[in-house]
Amino acid sequence: MLGFADEVWWSRLVQPNQHAWVDGKPLRLPDRTLPKGDPDPKAIACYGLLRADTQQVQVCFVEGRPVSHVTTAFLTRVCDSLKAEGKKALLLIWDNASWHLSKEVRGWIRTHNRHAKRVGGVRIVVCQLPIKSPWLNRIEPHWIHAKRAVVEPGRLLSKAELIRHIYAYFNGQYVQPLQQVIAKKVA
């Protein structure tokens, strides 16, 4: 299976550019400010995989930010779902984000592939995109269109509302968010 993966931040405050004209000028949606006492974060992170076979985007949100151990958790979920469909390999196209190139992720993929070959599972073949070439990743336009589609110009969406809107846009099923583990400092 060919898949294009990427991470994206969904801002609750910054409005996406819209294509509309009013009185000969482009329409600009004003950015929002976070009200005092709002418990939700300003932005939320999300992993996505555009499947070339179905043209569907699968999304998975992150409590925290995309880092190496969260990336391996995302890849585990992807491989488990592909294995359930009877797939044998994933040709994964993604960029050169530091958490894609990390020792932890590269080591995890090597170990995962050895295990998948031995017991039967989905092996991952990674194809890195050239540096600073987001237009080559076919998932990027999906992020842009989704950001324009889920915006509500009249009000600030809560984190839960924004997540619901995004899942609805991609016709996705809610999945438990991935957790970023933060190491505690030892005194």
pLDDT in tens, 109-141: 999 999 999 999 999 999 999 988 888 999 999
Q: What is the mean pLDDT of the chain?
A: 89
Residue 160 lies in a domain: yes
Residue 151 lies in a domain: yes
Residue 47 lies in a domain: yes
User: Which residue segment(s) compose the domain that 44 sits in?
Assistant: 2-85+138-179
Share of the chain above pLDDT 70, in %: 88
Answer whether residue 185 shows pLDDT above 60.
no
Q: In the chain, what are the helix, strand and coil shares in percent, each to the nearest 5?
A: 35, 25, 45
Answer whether residue 41 shows pLDDT above 80.
yes
Are the beta carbons of 75 and 108 closer than 8 angstroms? yes
Residue 148 lies in a domain: yes
pLDDT band, residue 13 (cuts 50/70/90): confident
Residue 27 lies in a domain: yes
Residue 115 lies in a domain: no
State how far the Cα of 76 lies from the Cα of 55, in Å rounded to an integer: 21
Count Cβ atoms within 10 A of the Cβ of residue 84 and give its class: 0-12 exposed, 13-18 middle, 19 or more buried. exposed
Residue 97 lies in a domain: no
Count of structural domains within the chain: 1
Give the 3-state secondary structure of residue 36: coil
pLDDT of residue 173: 87
Of the CA atoms within 13 Å of residue 178, those in its CB half-sphere come to 26
**CB within 8 A of 126, min separation 6: which ones?**
92, 94, 100, 109
User: What tokens appear for 178 in the block?
Assistant: 């991935």
pTM score of the predicted model? 0.86
State how far the Cα of 5 lies from the Cα of 31, in Å rounded to an integer: 28
Are the beta carbons of 59 and 167 closer than 8 angstroms? yes
> At 126, phi and psi to the nearest 5?
-90, 135
pLDDT in tens, 48-84: 999 999 999 999 999 988 999 999 999 999 999 999 9
Residue 8 lies in a domain: yes
What value does the mean pLDDT take over residues 75-98? 95
